[in-house]
Structure 1
Amino acid sequence: MLHRNANAGFPLTLRLTQKNGREDRQFRNRGGACFRYACPSSGPASLLAAIARAVRRPFEDFLLAMSHPYQDPSRPNSERVSDLLARMTIEEKIAQMHAFWLILSESGDHRTRSDSFTGASDQAQLQNRLKLGLGQITRPLGSHSVDPVSGVRALNHLQKFLREETRLGIPALSHEECLVGVMTRGGTMFPSALNYGTTWNPELIEKVATAIGTEARSLGCHQGLAPVLDVSRDVRWGRTEETFGEDPYLIGVLATRYVRGLQGDKRDLLATLKHYVGHSFSEGARNHAPVHLGPRELNDIFLLPFEMAVKQANAGSVMPAYHDVDNEPAHSSHYLLTEVLRNQWGFDGLIVADYVGVSLLYQHHGVAADPAEAAALSFNAGLDVELPGDDCAAHLREALARGQITEAKIDEIVSRVLTEKFRLGLFENPFVDENKIDLQNDNAKALALQVAEESFVLLENDGILPLAPDSGKKIAVIGPTADDPLAMVGGYSFPVHLIISDMTSETSEIVTPLQGLRKVYGDAAIRHAPGCVILAQRKAGSPVFPGDVTDGSTLNLESPVSRDTSLIDAAVQAARESDVAIVFVGDLAGLFQTGTVGEGSDTDSLNLPGVQQQLLEAVVATGKPVIAVITGGRPYILNGLEHKLAALAMAFAPGQRAGDAIANVLSGTASPSGRLVVSVPKSVGAMPYFYNHKLKSAGTPIAFHFGSRYPFGHGIGYTSFSYSGLSVEQSELDIETGEIVASFDIRNEGGRAGVEVAQLYVRDELASAVRPVKELKAFARVALDAGETARVTFRVPVDMLNLTNAAHRRIVEPGVFELQIGPSSADVPLQAKVNVTGQVRELGRLWRMESTSSINRR
């Protein structure tokens, strides 16, 4: 007896059970239609004939439809890939090597997305192109403000078409942005990646990524374009907000945890490591600009986090960057994409292009003559999928005819794409249940609050903080970011990202500082005055690429940043009428100069944008105690005001629970425990500046503007800690198996509980290559009650003392290494030395990459 499933067209896995001599089966034909039937166990031939009659298809056709090995989930993936690949035409293979960026419709009336940045696929030919199949669908829910249920239905409709109305029924892989939460309407908006870093809490970031993965999976997302592993070198760079900071080891640890959390144990959601590699050390800190790096520094600093995430977390995808390194574009670098990633590290996932990165090979870099050659260069180098569309992949037939790429290379690439689709289970489960969409759940919102609290960095405090809610003080809440929800989130949050397309989105989930402070202190205690605005209007339209202007050398564009001072007087009056002023200053994230920080929103100054410095000076001049809180995507300098403030803090971009977190810390409900992961330079003239520089970076003679006012690792709380009792288990370490074991005491000397972040740095005293003045090798968050002491032990494998030699290999050399332990890179009260003995050793693929810590409270 045969029954057609009520959800016909939604393919389900073949199931076979036997009960009382009868078989209960569920079957999917080539078109994807689902049937369920029960019949006596009378043999396969009569069974298939009965099914064929029921579905009104010829027996031979139905038998053929069910006989392909690639359709059988019980077969090994390698066998399924080989079978499917052998059945594909060259056009169907090429279709798996690119994406389409579409505005999907529940009715199936999909349309191509078009703008000056991404270009567009041919709308007229879209249906015919889709019949060939599709490798990926670009941001189906993240490209516009669509209700999640409607978006999921539209995505299911596309997958249904691909399964039922294409010759081979290959589903598409769906990707979304997800660095600070899945970037779709209704997704939880977590704090920025800089905030992730300043928590110094890998376990928390793994939980955050797990929560993001839950939301992404519930929307049918198979690949998330995160995390960003760029190592900050120059905070003028707009994308500083997307980084975990300026230390490669800390970034590598956090990246490993983020990837593990996002992907889960099964790697059923691919994390994407980007931007591979060196993107953050661009010429002049400008977006897309060339990178001037030698292979040793590239490996020691910039490749390290990627290597850690690939080897330790089995990252599923990597995205090359837009720039060139030593005149070789990353998108066409066989050395980076194949030799390093696949051959040396054993990476087995997908390499996907950054948006239009393949096109830029002929449009900007000038290493390809046209789209066909650009595609050939990228795919021969190691690329698997062009994103976000088919600008160049569509021309691969032409590249084949010219001999610029071979069909064998295309088969190799398509095999990797199909392998991931089979491994992810897309053929068996291409659809998502619209009734199980899981956004903004209590766990995700609680994690967003915890990250915002733990990433709050207190830099100065004369004792005014914490400011008790029952103090009776009148509080002036001042500043352009005090009540602007978009000032609390990063450029890759959904509402900010939409600005580039002149669209808006709901921001009701974002709690501003003003709202948070009113909750804690009450409306009657608060006087609010914005004081100024940063941008009078948020809009797209700035030139993006060099080719967008006729002659960059004579370019004369006006800054959109407001210089209006008319609101300052009212802010000063509010401060005079209050007991204390809390001034919120900073920047606004926005892509391509729709903001003052973010992708394509680089800066030439580290002064606060617009007239915020004048506002802050005017409020300080009232003589009232001033607490300044800097929000945004990079640190700023206050030109001497730092030490005239009662307190100074950096909250960066604290996400949707920003106001709650800031109010909790300022009131003392939560303790400030964030520590800087980007140094705050004394002057923009110090740029590029980072703590792990080389000795000669200071210049000769040393420039007066060099150095950091608030260094990497710095941050204070509402109590104080002391360090003592350093002991090193062994001063002589074997170069093969040795491990630094350093133990010391931390005591909470104050009258309230707090969190200290203990840090261990190493300095190589004599090496075969120039080394940084110090490098972070271990860290631990230590929570202590008032008067409590803990014994902290760090274990650092000798492998972590490596450097890169002239052959581009990691080696460990014998010699003396100085250990420096303390609360920041510039404050290291405990020091010792160890001597590594033996012969120079080249590290193998699986070298020991991480230190460990243990904490014993007394």
Structure 2
Amino acid sequence: MNRIYLIVIAAAIGLAGCQEKHTASASGSNSKIDHRVDSLLVLMTLEEKVGQLTLFTSDYDVTGPTIRENYKEDIKAGKVGAIFNAFGADYTRKLQEIAVKETRLHIPLLFGYDVIHGHRTIFPIPLGESASWDLAAMEQSARIAAEEASAEGLHWTFAPMCDIARDPRWGRMAEGAGEDTYLGSRIAEARVKGFQGKGIGELDAVLACVKHFAAYGAVQAGRDYHTTDMSDRVLREVYLPPYKAAVDAGAATVMTSFNELNGIPASGNKYLMTDILRKEWNFTGFVVTDYTSIMEMIPHGIAEDTASAAALALEAGVDMDMQAGFYNDALGKLVKEGKLKESLIDDAVRRILQKKFELGLFEDPYRFSNEEREKTTVMKKEFLDAARDGARKSIVLLKNDKNILPLSKSIKRLAVIGPMADARREMIGSWSAAGDWKKAVTILEGIKAAVSPGTQVLYAKGSNINDDSTKYLAQAIQTAKQADVVVLTVGEAALMTGEAASRASLNLPGIQQRLVEEIQKTGKPVVVVLSNGRPLTINWIDQHISSVVETWFLGTQAGHAIADVLFGDYNPAGKLTVTFPRSVGQIPLFYNMKNTGRPMDPNNKYTSKYLDESNEPLYPFGYGLSYTTFSYGDVVLDKNKISQQEEVKVTCKVTNSGKLAGEEVVQLYIRDLVGSVTRPVKELRNFQKILLQPGESKDVTFTLTQQDLSFYRKDMSFGVEPGKFEVYIGGNSRDVKKAAFVLQ
């Protein structure tokens, strides 16, 4: 190798003394990095370029992390640009050494992982966390996840999931922020900011990945990997805004979804990946597929073979192939045969190298693989404290009719019954990354740690989570009879939610419903504690049990957080971000549906309703109780008529009318009564979470802008239209106070 060639390589990969800090965002550019990327690109062979577009998985077995021998050989040959499911400072360093020391151009690997709701310290599942309506807490949980993940050698997380989901049969609802576009957008922004911190290249930051692009949450029948079909209006009004919010917040990467959209699978959908993402939204980061989704375009029926699938994906704007290996197998041959432009490969490689340079991997490929930092960062006390706080903020009090809650810590005999009480594995939920379920705090442990020394805590399993065995039932009934109060813990197993976990029934699985009914028959005061990753149909529980608490899957500190709420150390303030149906037959059911030409009238058969079920949900979007009560005054507007350039201020006095301090999520909704196209009956437009002492009042003021009143009009232009608007303020989407104004 001649001296000039060595100098060019050194200049390209940053070994010529260039140590500047890189914090360019996904929508920005760094001219020095651009120059270095271009300098490196000219040195690469076609095969090496294609290698940068390939992402393969590592594996874990009982002895620890492993990687397939053929993947090691691929890394050495420059055929792999990134690895996922590899973490740990020591292990990532060893893999990085293969790429840096044994490849021709020494290009470092990118390490990615599904850090969805915490890395080692596990926070509530995202659906549960969204119920806190606490954007700062959600940003903090993502920040902590990034600190832990980056300390274990990771550069990249496959989060946040920005899919709007309105069908709880879909198990992946657990990974998102629920049914509302506005709230989902705000949460997406917060999580991107948390993951990426002060900027890409900081040692405690990881690349965020917006997923699943697009409209994966609308899969037909709630069945995972199924098809999605919708108008462009619905796509743009409901489903796209959270992804765009994440991109606008600087998200470095985007992941394609498994579903097709209007006949075109996402990984081959140029309208999504190029026309919208790159041209409309000016996204400059790179796009990765979901697991083997290029391969799956063959059974979808849109690609005939490996070559056609690979070409379709690259031409659509997909930069990196996760696990299928189709790019490695086909792209080089397609270019050599004149069937594919090499410039498309160059563009994709350029976007990937850009992120590697921004991360500082060319200056120091091992900068994220520091064992000392790993030891001092993972599961720090302050991280565990934050997880506990985030968990209790996510709990939703659904019912407390007889004020059984909060419980006294001095109860003489407290029975803790049910399959979730001592179910340590279930506490951290699905997609729990590198979280060690053995370190999770169970509900039973949390309760035992909270009660007074004189309280006798009785325990009975009652049933398994999901089978028909009754062998634990009699003991549970006997235990309940001995107690003064029963905490009855029921729900789903962690892996009954998440990917490939769609359910046709949303009832309690197994014989848990029978368990609830038998315990209720004892006549003892009962508190039902739900652990689940989606809304369940719990009509009987709502009708017969006085106190019901929704706890989702709360993570490492679940048991302590639940005890904090049960015993009143924390006054619950969570609010649902997804509607709870009465029956599966109502699905899809969400608060911001549109009206019909024949709105429901119970006295008129020929209106929009069911013969055998109410139109109303069991619990509406935004709903959640407290141990105190809040009253809302009239909604007051600063003006009743505004021009299209003006804003309107909306104020409502909120009073803590109870005896305890508490937080309330004050929610603002609007309705555009007449438009060139029909509008939803309500749309969330803002919210504030406030803390009030007993008897304290606060004037909560919101400002509605032109953006808040805009929508996609008849001609698909985005903007406002003159007309009458109603504005609502309340503690949920159903129980609101109303005012009106005119936009001239």
Per the alignment, residue 441 of structure 1 pairs with 380
> SS of the residue aligned with 2:321?
coil
Aligned pair partner of 1:587 in 489, 492, 498: 492
Per the alignment, residue 656 of structure 2 pairs with 748
Aligned pair partner of 1:130 in 72, 76, 86: 76
- Which residue identity does 1:181 align to in structure 2? G
Aligned positions of 1:8-47 closer than 5 A: none
Per the alignment, residue 563 of structure 2 pairs with 663
Distance 1:409 1:200 in 2: 42
Residue 517 (structure 2) pairs with residue 608 (structure 1): no
- Which residue identity does 1:788 align to in structure 2? E
Aligned pair partner of 2:670 in 751, 758, 762: 762
Per the alignment, residue 220 of structure 1 pairs with 153
Per the alignment, residue 718 of structure 1 pairs with 627
Per the alignment, residue 532 of structure 1 pairs with 463
- Which residue identity does 1:487 align to in structure 2? E
> SS of the residue aligned with 1:508?
helix
Aligned positions of 1:363-374 closer than 5 A: 364-374=299-309
Residue 626 (structure 2) pairs with residue 680 (structure 1): no
Per the alignment, residue 707 of structure 2 pairs with 799
Residue 609 (structure 2) pairs with residue 702 (structure 1): yes
Distance apart, 1:805 and its partner CA: 3.9
> SS of the residue aligned with 2:292?
coil
Residue 701 to residue 158, structure 1, CA distance change in 2 (3 Å) = closer
Question: 8 Å contact 2:409–2:450 — kept in the other structure?
Answer: no
Per the alignment, residue 84 of structure 1 pairs with 40
Distance 1:507 1:303 in 2: 35
Distance 1:754 1:63 in 2: 65
Per the alignment, residue 572 of structure 1 pairs with 477
Per the alignment, residue 418 of structure 2 pairs with 479
Distance 2:65 2:231 in 1: 50
Distance 1:601 1:402 in 2: 43
Per the alignment, residue 340 of structure 2 pairs with 405
Distance apart, 1:61 and its partner CA: 7.4
Q: Which moves more between the two structures, 216-225 or 518-527?
A: 518-527
Distance apart, 1:166 and its partner CA: 1.4
Question: 8 Å contact 1:373–1:399 — kept in the other structure?
Answer: no
Residue 742 (structure 2) pairs with residue 835 (structure 1): yes
Aligned pair partner of 1:636 in 507, 524, 536: 536
Residue 760 to residue 584, structure 1, CA distance change in 2 (3 Å) = same
Question: 8 Å contact 1:180–1:189 — kept in the other structure?
Answer: yes
Per-residue CA deviation, residues 145-169 of structure 1 (Å, 9 max, x unaligned), is xxxxxx3222112222222221111
Tell me the TM-score normalised to structure 2 length. 0.92
Residue 694 (structure 2) pairs with residue 786 (structure 1): yes
Aligned positions of 1:38-117 closer than 5 A: 66=10, 71-72=15-16, 73=18, 76-103=32-59, 111-112=67-68
Distance apart, 1:103 and its partner CA: 4.1
Aligned positions of 1:199-598 closer than 5 A: 199-268=132-201, 269-311=206-248, 313-362=249-298, 364-388=299-323, 390-431=325-366, 432-437=369-374, 438-494=377-433, 506-522=436-452, 524-534=455-465, 561-590=466-495, 596-598=496-498
Distance 2:151 2:343 in 1: 37
Residue 647 to residue 170, structure 1, CA distance change in 2 (3 Å) = same
- Which residue identity does 1:676 align to in structure 2? L
Q: Structure 1: state its 5+ residue gaps.
A: 1-56, 113-122, 142-150, 496-504, 535-560, 591-595, 838-858
Aligned pair partner of 1:195 in 117, 124, 128: 128
Distance apart, 1:803 and its partner CA: 1.8
Distance 1:403 1:808 in 2: 39
Question: 8 Å contact 2:96–2:109 — kept in the other structure?
Answer: yes
- Which residue identity does 2:500 align to in structure 1? G
Distance apart, 1:282 and its partner CA: 1.1
Per-residue CA deviation, residues 359-386 of structure 1 (Å, 9 max, x unaligned), is 1011x21111111211111111111111
Distance apart, 1:506 and its partner CA: 4.4
Question: 8 Å contact 1:685–1:706 — kept in the other structure?
Answer: no
Distance 1:775 1:379 in 2: 38
Distance 1:307 1:506 in 2: 33
Residue 751 to residue 358, structure 1, CA distance change in 2 (3 Å) = same
Residue 789 to residue 369, structure 1, CA distance change in 2 (3 Å) = same
Per the alignment, residue 603 of structure 2 pairs with none
Per the alignment, residue 24 of structure 2 pairs with none
Question: 8 Å contact 1:520–1:663 — kept in the other structure?
Answer: yes
Distance apart, 1:790 and its partner CA: 0.9
Q: Which moves more between the two structures, 476-485 or 132-141?
A: 132-141
- Which residue identity does 2:253 align to in structure 1? S
Distance 1:389 1:427 in 2: 27
> SS of the residue aligned with 1:447?
helix
- Which residue identity does 1:345 align to in structure 2? W
Distance apart, 1:609 and its partner CA: 0.7
Distance 2:3 2:711 in 1: 66
Distance 1:61 1:318 in 2: 35
Per-residue CA deviation, residues 787-816 of structure 1 (Å, 9 max, x unaligned), is 111111112222122222466542222222
Question: 8 Å contact 2:293–2:324 — kept in the other structure?
Answer: no
Residue 403 to residue 612, structure 1, CA distance change in 2 (3 Å) = farther
Distance apart, 1:638 and its partner CA: 2.4
Q: Which moves more between the two structures, 95-104 or 414-423?
A: 95-104
Residue 525 (structure 2) pairs with residue 625 (structure 1): yes
- Which residue identity does 1:532 align to in structure 2? S
- Which residue identity does 1:611 align to in structure 2? I
Residue 199 to residue 68, structure 1, CA distance change in 2 (3 Å) = closer
> SS of the residue aligned with 2:131?
helix
Q: Structure 2: state its 5+ residue gaps.
A: 21-30, 601-605
> SS of the residue aligned with 1:681?
coil
- Which residue identity does 1:368 align to in structure 2? A
- Which residue identity does 2:652 align to in structure 1? F
Distance 2:182 2:406 in 1: 36
Distance apart, 1:726 and its partner CA: 2.6
Distance apart, 1:667 and its partner CA: 0.4
Larger Rg: 1
Distance apart, 1:68 and its partner CA: 5.1
Question: 8 Å contact 1:487–1:632 — kept in the other structure?
Answer: no
Question: 8 Å contact 1:820–1:832 — kept in the other structure?
Answer: yes
Question: 8 Å contact 1:478–1:583 — kept in the other structure?
Answer: yes
Residue 686 to residue 104, structure 1, CA distance change in 2 (3 Å) = closer
> SS of the residue aligned with 2:704?
strand
Per-residue CA deviation, residues 84-111 of structure 1 (Å, 9 max, x unaligned), is 1111110010001011213499x99963
> SS of the residue aligned with 1:742?
strand
Distance 1:281 1:71 in 2: 48
Question: 8 Å contact 2:486–2:527 — kept in the other structure?
Answer: yes
Distance 1:78 1:784 in 2: 52
Residue 70 to residue 434, structure 1, CA distance change in 2 (3 Å) = closer
> SS of the residue aligned with 1:640?
helix
> SS of the residue aligned with 1:793?
strand
Per-residue CA deviation, residues 711-734 of structure 1 (Å, 9 max, x unaligned), is 001111111111114321222233
Per-residue CA deviation, residues 236-270 of structure 1 (Å, 9 max, x unaligned), is 11111111111011011011011001101213321
- Which residue identity does 2:137 align to in structure 1? L
CA RMSD of aligned residues (A): 2.3
Distance 1:68 1:247 in 2: 46
Distance 2:548 2:142 in 1: 30
Per-residue CA deviation, residues 757-794 of structure 1 (Å, 9 max, x unaligned), is 10011111011112211110011111101111111111
